A = this chain, B = another copy of it.
Amino acid sequence: MLKLYGYYRSSAAYRVRIVLNLKGLAYEQVFVHLRRGGGEQFRPDYVKLNPQALVPTLDDDGVVLTQSLAIINYLEETRPEPRLVPADPAARARVRALALAVACDIHPLNNLRVLQYLKDELDIDEDARNRWYRHWVELGLGAMEQMVAGHPATGRFCHGDSPGIADACLVPQLANARRFGCDVGVCPTLVEIDRACADLPAFRAAAPQNQPDAE
């Protein structure tokens, strides 16, 4: 049985939930509350699974995996149907670049631990922290928009007319963008793709507000 350690608001866990759902895989959830009691991710039993003290972690019958994109790749390799990464190497690289544009260049800057450091160590006030948040989101989504708008491979989804790993990274990032009042007017094509994803039960079931640990 697949066991996902996550948190409803973690956008990295959200990516993995989408992929599990798209592949129709049953999984058990273990909730790691990132804010309660100083953060449950720092508990010794969890850190033993995930030394980075981050979510998600996936346990596949004793094979313990960390890092959302590594987990997603593993699922793609071990449960290849339906395919979430195209077959052609150049197309695969395009899809991966989009996923990484979220996972490397937007999300890490706006992670909970980073916002906490800005507040606690650098004494940055809430307004400036929100400007920081919006800066990286709008810069990143604006660039991604240039990667998809008018590109011949862009379809109803980031790549063609079926959802894939780029969409699984995009949708959680857009949800966060909206939560923090970012201007998603910078990325109309991505907003359209997000709307197409919202039509799919796999994406809806993965949304933070639909998780058992949602507050």
Contact = CB atoms under 8 A, between A and B. Distances in A.
Contacts of A131: 121
Contacts of A140: 52
22 contacts: A47-B146, A51-B144, A51-B146, A51-B147, A52-B143, A52-B144, A52-B147, A60-B90, A63-B93, A65-B90, A65-B93, A67-B97, A67-B104, A70-B93, A70-B100, A73-B93, A73-B96, A74-B90, A74-B96, A104-B107, A105-B108, A122-B124
Interface residues of A, number: 47
This chain: copies in complex: 2
Contacts of A69: 96, 100, 104
A143 to B, nearest CB: 4
Max chain B Cβ within 10 angstroms of own Cβ: one of A66, A124, A132, A135 = A66
